[in-house]
Amino acid sequence: MRQIVLDTETTGLEHKLGHRIVELAAVELCNRQFTGNHFHYYLNPDRESDEGALQVHGLTTEFLQDKPRFHEISGEFLDFINDAELIIHNAPFDVGFLNHELSLIKLKSLDNYCVSITDTLKLAKEFHPGKRNNLDALCERYNIDNSKRTLHGALLDAELLAEVYLAMTRGQESLLIELEYAEPIQQAIANVDGRDLKVIKATEEEFAQHLTVLENIARESNNRCLWKRFES
């Protein structure tokens, strides 16, 4: 399972007003592990950043003037995300900007190159309704060190988001990974050489305790307990 955690910085809030991407970064996860592979570029947007955006990311026109333009790195970027699940915080924002950049160079929209797109902001709102769910708040909630995050930077934010995502989904997705290996395991069991295997069944008390644990997990995860679903 290959996942790409992605973030952008932009010249402003609305690509429909001609704003562009000034930084693009992504980090790779395989089977919920950091691979060490990442993609990162500062980009020349051929325009000024809004003052508000500049205060967020600090990337000045002077700094960006000798950087590549999006079309120069687009092939490398699409190769990096190819056939992966994209994980993005507030995905509509970044996807809107990326689709705008792709349209300017006559390429297809982002969903034509990746398997799927997961919005971690949407997930966080489901897991923690009524609470602050920006990246800083989630880092604090999951005890992830974000002390180096004085300005927004796409690469650092992508790395922090990857840690937040792993913490936020721990348990649920790890079970899905294990299920991928269920068939080989069952085959190995079937190949046991006819020996009698002793089966110890749970007592009624143990089974009741098991159901109580599943109910608690379901309540804490807004009915996202996979174990309970399989049990039923």
99-118 pLDDT, tens digit per residue, is: 999 999 999 999 999 999 99
Q: What is the pLDDT of residues 80-90, one digit of tens each?
A: 999 999 999 99
d(C-alpha 105, C-alpha 100), whole Å: 9
Q: Tell me if 206 is assigned to some domain.
A: yes
Q: What is the pLDDT of residue 200?
A: 83
The pLDDT score that the predictor gives to residue 232 is 55
| pLDDT of 174 strictly over 50 | no
pLDDT of the residue at 89:
97
Is 95 domain-assigned?
Answer: yes
Residue 232 domain-assigned (yes or no): yes
Backbone angles phi, psi at 39, to 5 degrees: -125, 130
* Structure tokens given for 183: 């068939």
CA distances from 68 to 22, 64, 72, 100, 213 (A): 10, 8, 6, 17, 54
Q: Which of 155, 173, 191 is the last residue of a domain?
A: 173
Average pLDDT in the chain: 87
Collapsing DSSP to helix, strand or coil, 230 comes out as: helix
Note whether 2 and 118 are within 8 A (CB): no
Which position among 40, 71, 128, 152 bears the catalytic label? 152
Let me know whether 54 and 102 are in one domain: yes
If you average pLDDT over residues 117-121, what whole number do you get?
97
Give yes or no: 71 in active site: no
Note down the domain range covering 209: 199-232
What's the average model confidence in pLDDT over 35-60? 95
In a domain, 190, yes or no: no
> Can you give the CATH number for the domain in which 131 is found?
3.30.420.10
According to the model, what pLDDT value does residue 177 have?
47
Residue 215: inside a domain: yes
Provide the percentage of residues in the chain whose pLDDT is more than 70: 82
Least confident interval from 12-16, 131-135, 192-196, 219-223: 192-196
pLDDT tens digits for range 182-227? 556 556 555 555 566 677 888 888 888 888 888 777 776 666 666 6
Instruction: Say how many domains are in the chain.
Output: 2
pLDDT of residue 189: 54
Collapsed DSSP state (helix, strand, coil) of residue 150: coil
In a domain, 22, yes or no: yes
Statement to judge: residues 111 and 73 lie in one domain: yes
Same domain flag for 163 and 82 = yes
